[in-house]
Amino acid sequence: MSKKQAIMKKIGGFLAAVLVTMTILPVGQVNAMAATVPVENSGGKTADVDFTLDGATISGNIAYRARIVEGHSHGVRINTSIAINVVFSTTEALTPVSEGSDETNVRAHLTVNYDGKTFNANPHIYVSDEISNNTYEEDISFVVSGRNPSQEKYEKKKEESHSSSKSEEPKGNFAPDTNTMTPEQKAGWSVVSREPVVLAPNTSYGMSVSNAYQGPMCRLAFQMASPAGYALGHTYDMKLATGAGGNAGLKVPQDLMKTGRKYVVAFVVPGGPSVATAPLTPDEGGNINFNTNLLGLPAGSNYAMAIMYTDV
């Protein structure tokens, strides 16, 4: 198996990539020539993608994947985005930073031309994006169209709480003050369930699941790991104690329950690819069940987790 094949296998096999040639510029710069990339779920459209890296020399080809992702909040479509995945190797190791850190490192430059619009970004290279030795992955998305109706909902809730002596702000694992949040933070909190997590009766000892905010990189990973047509329902943290593993499950929150609806449970695995279950149908108790061992989730770790759903 070649190095390129090993890399693609390790990131899950679900990355249908387009390989492009490069132009090697003076030391410290590499320019990936603009490639025309088919865009999944777009009805046959393409995107021109150009990737440049400062401070290191790229070795070999660059793999691109582009797809259209529809954002949802509690069953309501918020926006439509184009998601770009880039996989590349370097002749020398980069110095990744931890997500959310104020540290700086080598900067990547990404330009995308899609549907008459041009999008630019300078994403950092994060620790969680390194796949293998000197091989890295970047995921980034751009909103193509749409609006965020959840902002109106939060503003209305704020007005109601000020006009009533009884606070209606969410309690527990939710953001207590949406007024001070950025639009990105509001989008993340909008998919945190307001209902307590209820584990399925057959859940093995040493497993716990809690409602949790997940950042944009994790939410994009959930979308890319799940089958086409699945929307993001709610996000969680899952913990497996040392020695834990096996049967697991949780009750589908009431706001996600719908007759005939199918679900998958997606995970972001530390240092590796995202994985998702096969489509799940709730049992008589309204639980969706899976097995952590069959999914390759090792014990003694924490995972970002999401319920995804589709109506069939």
The answer on 258 and 128 residing in a single domain is no
For the chain, the domain total comes to 3
pLDDT 10s digits, 156-199: 554 444 333 333 333 444 555 667 777 888 888 889 998 889 99
pLDDT 10s digits, 88-147: 888 878 776 655 454 555 678 888 999 988 888 777 776 655 667 788 877 788 888 775
The answer on 118 and 154 residing in a single domain is no
Decide: 133 and 107 in contact? Cβ < 8 Å. Answer: no
The answer on 119 and 232 residing in a single domain is no
The answer on 108 and 81 residing in a single domain is yes
The answer on 215 and 171 residing in a single domain is no
The answer on 203 and 76 residing in a single domain is no
The answer on 243 and 136 residing in a single domain is no
Q: What average pLDDT is seen over the chain? A: 75
The answer on 50 and 14 residing in a single domain is yes
Decide: 133 and 96 in contact? Cβ < 8 Å. Answer: no
Instruction: Assign residue 268 the CATH number of its domain.
Output: 2.60.40
Q: Would you say the pTM of this structure is higher than 0.85?
A: no
Range of the domain at 137: 3-146
E strands, 94-204, in order:
108-114, 117-121, 130-132, 135-146
pLDDT value of position 266: 93
Domain endpoint, select from 161, 180, 199: 180
The answer on 302 and 217 residing in a single domain is yes
User: Residue 311: which of 65, 70, 150 has the closest Cα?
Assistant: 70
Decide: 122 and 52 in contact? Cβ < 8 Å. Answer: no
The answer on 155 and 204 residing in a single domain is no
The answer on 154 and 139 residing in a single domain is no
